Chains A and B, each alone.
Chain A
Amino acid sequence: GAVVSQHPSRVICKSGTSVKIECRSLDFQATTMFWYRQFPKQSLMLMATSNEGSKATYEQGVEKDKFLINHASLTLSTLTVTSAHPEDSSFYICSASKQGASDSPLHFGNGTRLTVT
Chain B
Amino acid sequence: AQTVTQSQPEMSVQEAETVTLSCTYDTSESDYYLFWYKQPPSRQMILVIRQEAYKQQNATENRFSVNFQKAAKSFSLKISDSQLGDAAMYFCAYRRAYSGNTPLVFGKGTRLSVIA
Q: With a CB–CB cut-off of 8 A, which chain A residues contact B105?
A: 46
Q: With a CB–CB cut-off of 8 A, which chain A residues contact B43?
A: 38, 91, 93, 110-111, 113
Chain B contact-residue range equals 20 to 34
Instruction: Encode B58-82 as 1/0 by CB contact (under 8 A) with A.
Output: 0000000000000000000000000
The secondary-structure label for the interface of chain B is: loop
Q: With a CB–CB cut-off of 8 A, which chain B residues contact A31?
A: 100-101
CB distance from A96 to the nearest CB of B (A): 8
Partner-contacting stretch, out of A15-23, A69-77, A78-86, A97-105: A97-105
- Give B residues with C-beta under 8 Å from A: 33, 35, 42-45, 47, 50, 52, 91, 95-109
- The 4 lowest CB-CB distance pairs between A and B, nearest first, are A32-B101, A108-B45, A34-B103, A43-B106
- Give A residues with C-beta under 8 Å from B: 31-32, 34, 38, 42-46, 49, 91, 93, 95, 97, 99-103, 105-106, 108, 110-111, 113
